[in-house]
Structure 1
């Protein structure tokens, strides 16, 4: 069971993990052990609240397929257990990122003083650049 928050958790049947051979450096060990983990999590079939599902499906994340399946490949570590934990942590972080509600931005105008400082700095830069010119 993967705990997302105090009230939300995922059952083991919702997360499908398969061991695959890792790619990259590692010599002979990489060629003979299946230490990488391929995690698949179907958003539509899960028991997540509807709000979380909508937000996950709305994400433009390369790990989420068009069918609504989260695919995570973990191969950073040499052991299968560590890769399994890494994949679960990454899934948990992805779901937690959706739970945070972004604060609505209230548009503001710059103050007179900040506008004056900006113009003054632009004038000073312009003077510095004009002094770099050829002396006649």
Structure 2
């Protein structure tokens, strides 16, 4: 029971241990009145993905998906400052991290197989084109006999 409380479940086979997360509270920019200069409500969440024990292919996709939020050390940084309270920003950052790791855990779609139109489809298309061509040829000036 105690062990499951420290794990953040991503899917059936992947979970993140809370020891791999580091939260720093910073001052948020933007609206907030007098509170904005006094209270550190924004959250900077650092996920040590390289040490988290993720499968290698999931880790590679995670770093690629994270883009500039990934550091050279294999950490993922997420900043949350949408809300005015520390708790809501904290849960927002964790939700965004879980969504990012869950997206990385999905296997990539198989490559598209090239298909060719059937012989009958090609013939029907060419017949329709020549039919339109004939209709357009019939337009134009009427010559007198």
Q: TM range, normalised to the smaller chain? A: 0.7 to 0.9
What value does the CA root-mean-square deviation take over the aligned residues? 2.5
- The 3-state SS of whatever aligns with 2:102 is helix
1:15 to 5, 18, 21: 21
- What is the alpha-carbon distance in structure 2 between the residues aligned to residue 64 and residue 53 of structure 1? 11
2:108 corresponds to which residue?
102
Q: TM-score, normalised by structure 2?
A: 0.71
Give the total of aligned pairs.
Answer: 120
Q: Which runs of 5+ in 2 are unaligned?
A: 1-6, 137-145
* Normalised TM-score (structure 1): 0.75
Q: Whose Rg is larger?
A: 2
1:55 shift after superposition: 2.3
Runs of 4+ deviating beyond 6 Å: none
Q: What SS does the corresponding residue of 1:92 show, helix, strand or coil?
A: helix
- Residue 82 in 1 paired to residue 88 in 2? yes
Q: State the SS of the aligned residue for 1:16.
A: strand
Q: Give the unaligned 5+ runs of structure 1.
A: 128-136
